[in-house]
Amino acid sequence: MTHLEKRRLGATDVEVTTLGFGGANLGNLYRAVSDEQASEVMDTAWRSGIRYFDTAPHYGLGLSERRLGAALVDRTRDEYVLSTKVGRLLVPNEDATGSDMDQQFDVADDLRRELDYSGPGVRRSLEESLQRLGVDHVDVVFVHDPDDFTREVLDGALPELVRMRDEGVVGAVGVGMNDWRAPLRFVQESDVDVVMLAGRWTLLDRTAAPLLDACLARGVSVVAAAPFNSGLLARADPRADSHFNYETPDARLLQAARDLAALAREHGCILPQVALQFPLRHAAVASVVAGLARPDHAVSAARWLSEQVPSAFWDDADTVVEGLL
């Protein structure tokens, strides 16, 4: 088993492994996987040393939470850290079409998502997540993608979650988003412990630097999700049909990724290895959460974090990225 370092979230007692398991694939993101496949990748992640697991009701309309809970049911509860998200209640769908693929999950749409960032709404959301997960508590709760609901979150969701943290119901409270500007406001105006940021603090996208610096100054931790920017940095040789933040990369981005891949090879590494390690170089980052769709992905990711990258690579990489600015 690979040994993964643990880092504390903010001033809480919650410690996460530097590599976290992103549970969206367990919810049939893009394509269906069987219960057996889901169980196999979870077992492999555990054997690879991963002890931080993240999910959300949004992922497959609760399927990810149910599968994650089933995979962890025989594990000792204090041996792993579990996070889920609030802000989307799952309610019966009276206009079901048979598929949730318009939300990118290959599941039946017998339920639908109902946004609710109120205090009662997030408490209800967490209670329902606990039932799907089959646990009596989670360690971290993130408010999920509240981009257009900043005021509601500041007035409702976060104060309620802080109360739940103070009651001992959850260990740490945070927000999880793609854009970095709204989280910066939450860091400045609320008592969050952690920010989960997807795709904006990566080897190729460093736009969230102001947020990370503010987090460091205030003692707020960052969980860096989507370190491969949805595909462009996931292969040793970036392909033209790769995606960058779910869109087709322009020629400059594709060339930069290929330049970074060439640099990595010169220093005895490969692109996904350095992409996975990059976020952790900032002192505010506690963990990198990646979507590990197959057992070999979990094994590779754990190994990449344990192998040292020459310091000269990072200097050369900075020069490539600065050329994009």
Domain holding 10: CATH number? 3.20.20.100
Report yes or no: 257 and 237 within 8 Å, Cβ to Cβ: no
Domain assignment present for 78:
yes
Print the SS3 string covering 111-155: EEEEECCCHHHHHHHHHHHHHHHCCCCEEEEEEECCCCCHHHHHH
Report helix angle 119-133 to 63-72, nearest 10: 50
Asked, for residue 313, whether it belongs to a domain, the answer is: yes
Residue 325 has pLDDT above 70, yes or no: no
Taking Cα atoms as reference points, which of 152, 163, 212 lies closest to residue 191? 163
Q: How does the average pLDDT of the chain come out, rounded?
A: 96
3-state secondary structure of 84: strand
Range of lowest pLDDT (7-21, 51-65, 117-131, 309-323): 309-323
Query: Which candidate in 59, 80, 117, 246 is catalytic?
Result: 59
Task: Give the tens place of pLDDT for each residue, 196-219.
Answer: 999 999 999 999 999 999 999 999
Full residue range of the structural domain in which residue 173 is found: 6-322
CB count within 10 Å of CB 129 equals 23
Residues 147-167 have pLDDT tens digits of 999 999 999 999 999 999 999
Does 1 fall in a domain?
A: no
What is the count of structural domains for the chain? 1
Q: Is residue 233 part of a domain?
A: yes
pLDDT band at 323 (very low <50, low <70, confident <90, very high): confident
Q: Is 59 known to be catalytic?
A: yes
Residue 56 has pLDDT above 80, yes or no: yes
pLDDT of residue 3: 82
* DSSP character string of 93-111: -TT--S-BGGGTB-S--SE
Rounded mean pLDDT, 63-71: 98
